[in-house]
Amino acid sequence: MTEQKLILVTNDDGIHAKGIHALVSVAKKMGRVVVVAPDKPQSGMGHAITIHHPLRIKKLTLFDGMEAYSCSGTPVDCVKLGIYEVLQGVPDLILSGINHGENSSTNVLYSGTMSAAIEGAMENIPSIGFSLCDYNADADFSAAVHFAERLIQYVLKIDFPSRLCLNVNIPNIPKVKIKGIKICSQAHAYWADRFEKRLDQFGEAYYWLMGDFIDQDQGVGTDLHALKNGFVSVVPTHFDLTAHAHLTTLKNLENA
Amino acid sequence: MTEQKLILVTNDDGIHAKGIHALVSVAKKMGRVVVVAPDKPQSGMGHAITIHHPLRIKKLTLFDGMEAYSCSGTPVDCVKLGIYEVLQGVPDLILSGINHGENSSTNVLYSGTMSAAIEGAMENIPSIGFSLCDYNADADFSAAVHFAERLIQYVLKIDFPSRLCLNVNIPNIPKVKIKGIKICSQAHAYWADRFEKRLDQFGEAYYWLMGDFIDQDQGVGTDLHALKNGFVSVVPTHFDLTAHAHLTTLKNLENA
């Protein structure tokens, strides 16, 4: 008999989001699942950790009696609390998502979903972040669930590279139209930001962050290209931000 | 007459921290400085952006009449608001810091200081994050100021690579003992996290994130090695998280 896998599940849309329930429905086929997820939406929290406030966790009976905790902190807090306080041990796999909305290209930096997976990689635990390219709270996760199951099974089977995680995005098209899975690089895209200025009841200004996603790089091999062409994109993601090529081009800076 | 440079300054310790005042004292020698910085400490906020709450900015007269705004959001919010609302244009340089505390190695991911610089790189604006390896609120920034001035002058002089920023850490030793500047790669280090569990007045548990910094990688060429040996470390930092080597090693995943 093979040993049962221990799987930690989190997300950034909060423990009540449809996407994490979809992910748990897959994960529970593969092992013992423990959920530690934010008690409220934490989208856009990036790799934030909570150091100026205490953290709270609360045991919930949400997932058919499965062990589940809501956490007052960020997705990265959930991973840290999950490992060091709830499990007090190392899970075999960390799954994050399924996010309501795309986390392709440079969105990986802002994404709480992916930051949870990156935190897993930093702990040297195989980790996968899943995102469906549909922001709808009631999105249809059936295609995402299908590909998540295939990818999780594969990852549990192989000798997963150390200090790595996967950024998986599923296009918002019916399952039968999805052409397959593509290993991709992170496209260069950016948000053309703007702020909507409003006045409050005292006449004081406040701002909402708005913006348009400019996908200027849709080159073959990028995640944006794969998604536009009907594939599930998988970006092998690490956390070495060194621009290695510039170690030599900027060498003269040592004489600044 | 050369055109005056426009320099946006931010940080994550908040607009009242000693470190940002030290940085402004250098920046103002190089051009027109506009400060947009958090109204409260935002350490550990990583690349978080504020999307669930409105943002506020407030004009302050803090820096000898220099244009300065406090912002209710994160360091990345400050950069976005600085560019799109305050300046309504592109600065020549973004400076972040000087942080009270080290942002070497993997700390770059948690660091609000460095995330502000990375956001600048994403906007294709030359950006530098400075951190002094001293968490003291009243730290001595004289060595940091000296090296910041040299590095800023150099960066303003060269054709700075696109989509890049610099992660500069200054060791906590007297200026005369600093041996120079080293271009480095990001060391692999991690936080061995633990949580201190306490009970509140109602007997409910809450947790403080604690941890020890484990600098397991002190190899020659890393920022940790440079700092330990008395050098200022400069890591050329980008935001492509693709683990390019694994685009081939994980190719079979397409058949998962």
Q: How many CA atoms lie within 13 A of B242 on its CB side?
A: 21
- Tokens, residue B31: 């051009």
> B39, B50, B209: which to substitute to probe chain A, counting the most A Cβ within 10 Å?
B209
pLDDT at A2: 59
Q: pLDDT digit string (tens) for A113-154?
A: 999 999 999 999 999 999 999 999 999 999 999 999 999 999
CB A241 within 8 A of CB B187: no
Residues B104-115 have a mean pLDDT of 96
The CA distance from A94 to A33, in Å, is 10
| Interface predicted TM-score of the whole assembly (ipTM), two decimals | 0.94
pLDDT exceeds cutoff 50 at A40: yes
Return the percentage of chain A with pLDDT > 70, whole number: 99
Residues A168-197 have a mean pLDDT of 94
Interface membership of B156 toward A (CB under 8 Å) = no
Residue A180: list chain B partners with CB under 8 A: 254
Interface membership of B213 toward A (CB under 8 Å) = no
The kind and range of the H/E element at A23 are helix A18-27
Nearest to A206 among B47, B55, B122 (CB): B55
Please work out, in degrees rounded to the nearest 5, the angle formed at the alpha carbon of residue B43 by the alpha carbons of B60 and A198. Answer: 45
The answer for residues whose C-beta is within 8 angstroms of residue B249's C-beta and 6 or more apart is A161
The CA distance from A125 to A93, in Å, is 6
Interface membership of B199 toward A (CB under 8 Å) = no
Given 3-state DSSP classes, what are the helix, strand and coil percentages for chain A, each rounded to the nearest 5?
30, 30, 40
Strands (E), chain B: 5-10, 31-38, 57-60, 67-71, 93-100, 127-132, 165-170, 180-183, 190-199, 205-214, 231-237
Cα–chain center distance at A18: 15
CB B68 within 8 A of CB B34: yes
pLDDT at A1: 46
Q: Which residues pair with B42 in a beta bridge?
A: none
**CA distances to A29, A96, B31, B137 from A129, in Å:** 18, 5, 43, 37
Q: What does residue B151 show for φ and ψ, rounded to 5 degrees? A: -70, -40
Q: What does residue A81 show for φ and ψ, rounded to 5 degrees? A: -65, -40
Q: Using CB atoms within 10 A of its CB, is residue A142 exposed (0-12), middle (13-18) or buried (19+)?
A: exposed
Q: Using CB atoms within 10 A of its CB, is residue A247 exposed (0-12), middle (13-18) or buried (19+)?
A: middle
Interface membership of B185 toward A (CB under 8 Å) = yes
- The CA distance from B68 to the nearest CA of chain A, in Å, is 17
pLDDT exceeds cutoff 50 at A170: yes
Write down the architecture of domain A5-188+218-255 according to CATH.
3-Layer(aba) Sandwich (3.40)
Q: pLDDT digit string (tens) for B221-245?
A: 999 999 999 999 999 999 999 999 9
The CA distance from B233 to B228, in Å, is 10
CB B70 within 8 A of CB A192: no
The CA distance from A103 to A132, in Å, is 8
The 3-state DSSP class for residue A236 equals strand
Please report the residues numbered 46 through 65 in chain B whose beta carbons come closer than 8 angstroms to any beta carbon of chain A.
46-52, 54-57
**How many Cβ contacts (< 8 angstroms) between chains A and B?**
241
Q: A15: left (phi > 0), else alpha (psi -120 to 50), else beta?
A: alpha
Give the CA-trace dihedral at B244, B248, B253, B255, to 10 degrees: 140
Q: Cβ contact (<8 Å) for A188 and B163?
A: yes
Interface membership of B239 toward A (CB under 8 Å) = yes
- The CA distance from A51 to the nearest CA of chain B, in Å, is 6
CB A190 within 8 A of CB A204: no
> B12, B49, B107: which to substitute to probe chain A, counting the most A Cβ within 10 Å?
B49
pLDDT at B1: 46
CB B62 within 8 A of CB B34: no
- Tokens, residue A13: 């849309």
Q: pLDDT digit string (tens) for A225-242?
A: 999 999 999 999 999 999
Q: pLDDT digit string (tens) for B29-81?
A: 999 999 999 999 999 999 999 998 999 999 999 888 899 999 999 999 999 99
The CA distance from A236 to B252, in Å, is 13
- Tokens, residue A164: 């790595």
- Tokens, residue B83: 């560019």
**CA distances to A76, A94, B19 from A80, in Å:** 6, 11, 29
The whole-chain average pLDDT of chain B stands at: 95
Q: A127: left (phi > 0), else alpha (psi -120 to 50), else beta?
A: beta
- The CA distance from A136 to the nearest CA of chain B, in Å, is 16
pLDDT exceeds cutoff 90 at A83: yes
Buried b (16+ CB within 10 A) or exposed e, A186-215: bbbbbbebebeeeeeeeeeebbebeeeeeb
Residues B163-190 have a mean pLDDT of 96
- The CA distance from B49 to the nearest CA of chain A, in Å, is 5
Residue A47: list chain B partners with CB under 8 A: 46-48, 109-110, 115
Task: With cut-offs at 50, 70 and 90, classify the pLDDT of residue B2.
Answer: low
